[in-house]
Amino acid sequence: MSVVNQLDDIRRQNRSKILSCLRVHGGMSRTAIAGRTNLSAATVTTITADMLATGILTRAEELVDTTGGRGRPRVNLHFNSQFACVGVIALRLNQLFVSIVDYCGDTIYQHEVSLVTTSISTNRLLAKLTDALRAGLDHVPGSDRNLIHVGVCVQGTTDVSGTSMLWSPVIEPRNVPIGEHLKSEFGASVSVHNDCNIIAKALRHNEPEIFQNDFATVLLSHGIGIGLFQNGELVQGRSSSGTEFGHMTYIPQGALCRCGRLGCIEAYAGGYGIYRNANNMNPSVLPKDEIKAEELDEILEKARANDPSALHSFEQAGAAIGTGLANLFALIDPFPIAIVGVGAKARDQLEPHIRKSIGQSRMHHEKREVPILFYEDENPFIRKGSAVTALMAVDETISNRQRRKTIASIA
């Protein structure tokens, strides 16, 4: 590698550090940025001056309190909200959520669209995505010109390059080219992500003191999924988003899962699995497509009233989840777990059985109890994680564009 390329890579990395610092910690002074990034004051000044000149960043004077009761202004650098915007789309069971987010990360507009995902065709789905995003842009003057990136979060498996939805338990079509389609429609870059991975990114952004290098988020909803971080990196498959925790085997040749296999964790711990067991239904028959939250709440109340079938359904669900986690811990050391979604309402019914299954498989050298935190609503994490991921994609694009500009000036 030439000296010019080496220097340019260093500049790109430094720009990325500064943008990431501001993205995580919010507006701050050049001095504070230098302290957070371990970059020199001169480097921070040079890079931020260029970003101010190109409109990426903006200045704001903010009053700093002193012990004497008098304040002095300090100039903090912020993202320029007018510089760009991103579109965020979350595709869930029978629901489409769309928001337009400015470059500071503030939501300008959002709306929801109902659709029957279980019977929709590929063309109809792509048309719905296009119409929903265009409707959002129409409510924000000028946003169609400033749209740089679209982040799509899907309930299913995506390709590792983040362009297509390969499979979803709630949508019949396979290999849906979401990225290619939306890019052609809006002229913006597009990334497609698995919902559990997005939830993990949101938790890492919101609570880095707990969820940082090694942790997992388990989504307990109609289906079961996991987002897994190891050594600070999101774990994915070689060709797909991978980590299909819900489709690991719990009981060989057991209850029918909606994926078509038998005995999956999801067949016992997914909303439909809990519903099926609580109502003493045939384990080889899938219940109706959508189990409403109110129906699961009713089962939970029955369990708390010591109804035997309801108690058994949560015991099976907790044991399935705990067994799956124990199998992961046998491969890699235990790590904090966030359990997210409507199933987290049943913490009192699930956690004892989860911990029991983990404890039965605990290695002799493991003394500490695994931290398990519960969050009942996954939607704020999906929306936050999707927005942050999309904005970070824009930041990376900006860093690379600045890199090309440097090469051109040297040439």
Whether the model pTM is above 0.85: yes
pLDDT digits (tens, 9 = 90+) for 227-238: 999 999 999 888
Q: How far is the C-alpha of 229 from the C-alpha of 232, rounded, in Å?
A: 6
φ, ψ for residue 291, nearest 5 deg: -95, 120
CA 306 – CA 404 distance, rounded (Å): 66
Confidence of residue 407 (pLDDT cuts 50, 70, 90): very low
- Give residue for tokens 């849906």: 176
CATH number of 85-199+380-396: 3.30.420.40
Closest CA to 335 of 220, 219, 211: 211
- Reply yes or no on domain 3-80 having CATH 1.10.10.10: yes
Residue indicated by tokens 């109804």: 307
Q: What is the mean pLDDT of residues 89-94?
A: 92
pLDDT per position as a tens digit, 231-266: 999 998 888 887 889 999 999 999 999 888 999 999
Structure tokens at 367: 């003394």
> pLDDT grade, residue 60 (50/70/90)?
confident
Question: Is residue 82 predicted with pLDDT exceeding 60?
Answer: yes
H/E segment holding residue 385 = helix 379-410
- For residue 362, is pLDDT > 70? no
- Average pLDDT of the chain to the nearest whole number: 90
Q: Which fold has domain 211-370?
A: Nucleotidyltransferase; domain 5 (3.30.420)
Q: Is 223 helix (H, G, I), strand (E, B) or coil?
A: coil
Over residues 173-206, the pLDDT tens digits come to: 999 999 999 999 999 999 999 999 999 999 998 8
Residues of each domain in the chain carrying CATH 3.30.420.40 = 85-199+380-396, 211-370
Separation of alpha carbons 103 and 22, rounded Å? 12
